[in-house]
Amino acid sequence: MKFQFATTGAAATFVLLALAAGPYRSAALAGALIAGVTAIASIAAMGAAAHRARRPMQRVLAVFVATFLVRLVVVGLAAGLLGRAGGNVVAFVVAFFVPYFVFSALEGAYLHSLRRTGIHA
């Protein structure tokens, strides 16, 4: 549960930071929101997979890969739409990828914690 709280807290922090982005606020907010929402969904799905699956580690890794692919598509679509609308794509990309790396570290730490608690593939 601590990883879910840490992810939610980090997501809220990044959204608040995006609100302080001045003239690039809307693009930065879009990036931070997409990163945060996908991270919260990912860590929640990992938790559900770890406790309900017959082979929990494989299910959690499948969730990790699936959310990576979803993020890949969503970021591409959002950057394209933002560029067409005249938004600042650089602000969006920075506001997405900085939190993304933090969230990836939290997800990796969660995976590692499963191994330490005795959940194996």
CA 19/CA 48 separation, integer angstroms: 31
Predicted local confidence at residue 119, as pLDDT: 58
CA 8/CA 33 separation, integer angstroms: 11
Predicted local confidence at residue 117, as pLDDT: 64
CB 56 within 8 A of CB 45: no
Predicted local confidence at residue 88, as pLDDT: 93
Q: For the chain, which ranges sit under pLDDT 70?
A: 53, 116-121
Q: Residue ranges of the domains in the chain?
A: 2-116
User: Which pTM does this prediction carry?
Assistant: 0.87
C-alpha 79: how far from its chain's center? Answer: 16
CA 108/CA 6 separation, integer angstroms: 13
Q: Where are the alpha helices (DSSP H) in 20-88?
A: 25-52, 56-84
Predicted local confidence at residue 118, as pLDDT: 60
